[in-house]
Amino acid sequence: MRIATWNVNSVNARLPKLLDWLSAAEPDVLCLQELKVDADAFPAEQVAELGYEVAAHGNGRWNGVAVLSRVGLDDVRRGLADEPGFQAEGAMFEAAEPRAIGATCGGVRVWSVYVPNGRDVDHPHYEYKLRWLSALRETAAEELKTAGPFAVLGDFNIAPTDADVWDIGQFDGATHVTERERAALTELVGTGLAEVAPRPLKYEVAFTYWDYRALRFPKNQGMRIDLVYGDPQLTAAVSDAYVDRDARKGKGTSDHAPVVVDLDL
């Protein structure tokens, strides 16, 4: 089985790229993030022509997650246990955002997650990010009580180590690399998960994200923030894991590349 995760940065804007990649890479399960569409506006008919069912969770022009599967799609769950909301500027109340969706595909339980960015360490979004990660940890712990294989895949907006950014000196005082964010990842691992780290291909570090600005991609000035965590049953079955850097090349691409994991189940 092949599973993958990809922040597409607008599924409609990247639809030709997405369809081409599905045809070429042929994942059995693909977790998507940053759909930027309502769930009922997801281009399900187009991906269905390639054999994929879709479970989507989205509510407009921001956020949004989905699971695509050609090996079955059961027990869909939208949102985390006790998921916190965020009060956007100008809003009267906190509101839950579509950032997590779980499904069982061919006997493998997967969660597609889009962790809040955090924006700035002094911004309310940063504390929201930490609360959200706590809810993810509790949801993972709950899911792990049932039989695996089980994986949490997605855009975590956290670089696990200093080596996972192109120049740690450029991130002084910034989000994505703070001790509290990394501690939240450690707590997630503490539920019984382990990271499935992609093997390096062209470069020593398998970055997954490159800003559109300042020629970051050609210079390989990236970050590794799209991550895969699995339970022991899943990690023991991993036969390969890599970042499909080619999907980031060219015009009209997402600023993220897919992370692909092959399983011998």
As a whole number of angstroms, the distance between CA 25 and CA 154 comes to 18
Annotated ligand binding at 34? The verdict is yes
Strand ranges, E, within the chain: 2-7, 29-33, 53-57, 65-69, 74-78, 100-105, 108-114, 150-155, 194-195, 226-230, 238-243, 259-263
Q: HSE (CB half, 13 Å, CA atoms) of 15?
A: 13
For residue 176, is it left (φ>0), alpha (ψ between -120 and 50) or beta? left
Annotated ligand binding at 9? The verdict is no
Q: Are 29 and 101 in contact (CB under 8 A)?
A: no
242 has catalytic annotation: no
82 has catalytic annotation: no
Torsion sign over Cα 251, 23, 225, 124: positive
Which residue is catalytic, options 52, 125, 155, 231? Answer: 155
Residues for the chain: how many in total?
265
Annotated ligand binding at 231? The verdict is no
Annotated ligand binding at 172? The verdict is no
114 has catalytic annotation: yes
Torsion sign over Cα 153, 154, 160, 163: positive
Annotated ligand binding at 155? The verdict is yes
As a whole number of angstroms, the distance between CA 210 and CA 4 comes to 18
Which residue is catalytic, options 52, 57, 114, 125? Answer: 114
Which residue is catalytic, options 57, 125, 176, 256? Answer: 256
Annotated ligand binding at 255? The verdict is yes
Catalytic residue ranges: 114, 155, 256
Where is the binding site for Mg(2+), in residues?
7, 34, 155, 157, 255-256
Where is the binding site, in residues?
7, 34, 155, 157, 255-256
